[in-house]
Structure 1
Amino acid sequence: MFERAVVAGVGLIGGSVALGLAQRGLARRVIGYDASTEVLREAEALGVVDEVRPHAGEWLRGADLVVLAAPMRALTPLARELAPFLSPGTLVTDVGSVKGGIAAEMEALGVRQFVAGHPMAGSERGGVRHARAALLENAVWVLTPTEHTPLTALSRVRALVEGLGAAPVVMPPDAHDSLVATVSHLPYLASLALTHMVARDERLSLLAAGGFRDLTRVASGDPRMSRDMVVENRAALREALARFRRQLDRLEADLDEPEELLAAACEGKRTRDSLPVVRRSLLPLRHDLVVAMPDRPNQIGVVTQALGAAGVNIKDIEVLAIREDGGSLRLGLESPEDVAHAASILRATGFEVRGRGQETGLAESKQTVTPS
């Protein structure tokens, strides 16, 4: 699709985009641009990019794709730095988590072939050393064109997103920012509040088990990047916080109404079990098989090797719980037939399994779709 692609900001997401461009044959040459020479050296040493550039300049005129992948606070300054050197036909997109300001900024800079975007993917582990093309596979990638976005540019960026293995979703910038405030930025603040409660009472830390760690996982993200993300979206986030407080007030009132609280709990379970809501029309279905894991070395390896040798393709894998006597492993498989086949193999290998959707001694069915 592109002769020369430039990834400006070679961190976790930028590095993953660069690897995806190369591994999927989308760009003939990938150039990494970053303010940190140390990051550039690491990216080049890891083979994430073909070439590195520490300064903007006339070399940018030869790029036919530029991906702005800097943290939120640095995104606008980065755009201003690169814009004077871009050719009129250069396709530009970004991966920032807030869209309201960047499109207006690019228009003011005279960059016409721009489509704002946000891949809903990431990790608590940052930096180019953790970049991988698979991070973007099956991820929802929101594109937020405005009335000034050329349709040809939108079409090309959509094709790029699909080429990287992600699922493009198009919506207005303000709609994106409102939705992300609820599903991403609000959970981050909630995680901070919960972890602060534990930090102020040592007794709580003794009882904070796996469920608490899962619930507060996003608090482990980079503090500065997370701060910049929520501050940039503070208007939409304040609205989400107001709705969240109303929900908490309602649940507090329900403590005196057990049947109302039960109804709320049932609604919560139904909603949680069906997440993410938009996935069924976007991403392939997965069929679950849960494997009880004894507390012995290399048990995950035994499971994956046994299924791989039998030709069963594991599409997704998740460690569900860890206890002193073992835990469990959820395998996302492609079809009910794969679930039955895998269950038979693992039982013969000595594992206890609990599948979903099978008649032969397995429990109820559940189809899930799991973004990378």
Structure 2
Amino acid sequence: MTVSRHFVLAAGGTGGHMVPAAALAGELIRRGHGVALVSDERGVRFPGLFDDIQTHVLPAGRFGKNPLSWIKAGRQMLSGRSMAIELYRSFKPSAVIGFGGYPAMPAMLAAFARDIPTVIHEQNAVLGRVNRLVARKVDAIATSYAQVDRLKDAWSDKVHLVGNPVREAILALRAKPYPMLEPDGIFRVLVTGGSQGASVLSDVVPDGLAMLPVHFRRRMQVTHQARPEDIEKVRAKYLEHQIPAEIATYLPDMPEQLAWAHIVIARAGASTIAELTAAGRPAILVPLPIATDDHQTANAREIVEAGGARSIQQPNFTPNELAKQMQRLGLDTKALENAAKRARGCGRPNAARELADLVERLGDDAEARA
């Protein structure tokens, strides 16, 4: 296949950055373009996302709270910028797309130096630190939410709402109906704290579900993702409460798990919200309180206001509060189905295509100016 153009994707090594980058990479490759990834060691080794794409690890210092570390970080950034410039001389990208995270910074700085068109994609409802640093200079800002905090009015002319791209396997769930819930049928609960799990969910959820009425509790089937150090404790709690549960540290079959779930109890990370709204699954969300700029609370805002989820701040997330919210939502089949419909209404299933359209247009403009 003849490669039409080349694009560089630059992303930090967490799932929240890597998953949308991989979705865009797949879309660009389907359109006949060449793609390269710039990330850190975690990112290039992310399982199953970039196996057939050339990857590059560049030095990228992190500017923490200690000013003494800034000199070293600055040197690493400059070294990474120089390496990215060398990459661009041979790869000749039509555009560089940043997904946030400090590992994306050297690639963006090199693009500015080489006058290569640039786009940033923001997955969260708060503009991230690195994206804020480069937003003034980029050609376009792609957002996942209609309302994004810390996005300056001066940048509004270059803002494009596209959504947060998700994997094809998740997107395919959109064409399937919400799983039928019979009056006495199995009620399936999926508990996930993201790629690393969440201890607070392990501490609260088993006891909260145990407080539900007996006739409802006996119908439940739980799949619970937990941290390795919490596995045995969580398993013992479910056994004590006689609630059927499968416990795992990692769920490689997340699309299948999401397909059969009637309700999801989860953190409010960007990828989690994107997958819930793509598939149309109601949720009880517990935003991570230490997330930068409290962005998980902001992420939950749209789906909660639409009626597709309920959000509980972590200090208020107790077994009693969880049981109360589960009864309000889970015990009413019609309410649950309505919440699923409202969650689905928040989805933006064309995110990968619209983001690819945007970067292609920038490539067109660059060629026209050349």
Q: Please, what TM-score do these two structures have when normalized by structure 2? A: 0.41
Q: Which has the higher contact order (CA 8 A, sep 6+)?
A: 2
The higher radius of gyration belongs to 1
TM-score relative to the length of structure 1:
0.41
